[in-house]
Amino acid sequence: MSFAALEARVNAAGKTKLSNAAATVGGVPGISGIFDDAYIDPLGMSGSQPSLLCASADVSAAAQGAAVVVNAVSYTVGSIQADGTGMTRLLLQEA
Amino acid sequence: MGYHLHRQIREAVKTLLDGLTTTETRVYANRLQPMADANLPGLRVFMDDEDVDSLTIHAPVVQDRKVGLIVECCAKAASGLDDTLDASSKEVETALAAGITISGHVLPAVYAGMQFDDAISDKPVGIKRLRFFITYTAMSNAPDVLT
């Protein structure tokens, strides 16, 4: 098995086992991913950093500013961070 | 003995800034005030540094003091963050333009510049950090009384 095939298999397994949200990204519903919304306090102001880690293929059409809905909360894509292994993290901002 | 003049000045500034249009009563005389959403947009008031010149030789000396006052305009907004910070800054600068009054003495608050800082969060957050200088005179053995 090639490394690329192994990588794709691991990504698929991780997505299946670890996904905790089905999101709508850029109008496309049902995109599964790992949603995280950890507390942060930039500049001494309390907040959180919502992000959605998805298979890159699922969000290849997503652009900065695209609408995202996760758990009935509306966000926009603030930044798109592909990790080069087939996964992409969308940093989200509340709309 | 009264409070140190630093505290008197800080509290006078807080009182003066209380009730501005943008920040209303969300004024905190505490550099470490954690700003939750309910505290925003808000102001943090504190002092950063002070330079002192001795005007006499023998103790207790008369000291000419120049303290750096910081007013941080803090805001969090999905859009128009800089506009909110600028509006808050305008209100603060206008409120301090006539100086502050301590024990019947008017101390000028001289605007010395500003610095923006911002960061990504669930909504963008930003700070406009305003610097003012306040000069006053006190005896070295009585830092709670204006001379």
Per-residue pLDDT band for A9 (boundaries 50, 70, 90) equals confident
B121, B123, B127: best to mutate for the A interface, most A CBs within 10 A: B121
**Would the CB atoms of B35 and A46 count as touching at under 8 Å?**
yes
Alpha helices in chain B (DSSP H): 5-17, 81-96
**pLDDT at residue A95 above 80?**
yes
pLDDT at B1: 62
B91-107: pLDDT as tens digits: 999 999 999 999 999 99
Q: What CA–CA distance (Å, rounded) separates A12 from A23? A: 17
pLDDT at A11: 82
Chain B CA closest to residue A37: B122
Please check whether residue B124 touches A, CB under 8 A: yes
Chain A residue set in contact with B, beta carbons under 8 Å: 37, 40-50, 78-79, 91-95
Q: Is 0.90 topped by the overall pTM?
A: no
**Å from B59 to nearest chain A CA?**
42
Pairing of strands A28-40, B109-119: unpaired
Distances (CA, A) of B40 to B75, B88, B110: 6, 11, 26
Chain B CA closest to residue A44: B34
Tens place of pLDDT for every residue, chain B, 147 residues? Answer: 699 999 999 999 999 999 999 999 999 998 888 899 999 999 999 999 999 999 999 999 999 999 999 999 999 998 999 999 999 999 999 999 999 999 999 999 999 999 999 998 999 999 999 999 999 999 999 999 998
pLDDT at A14: 79
The ipTM (two decimal places) reads 0.76
Please check whether residue B116 touches A, CB under 8 A: no
Q: Which one-letter amino acid corresponds to residue B95?
A: A
Cβ neighbours, 10 Å, residue B143:
15
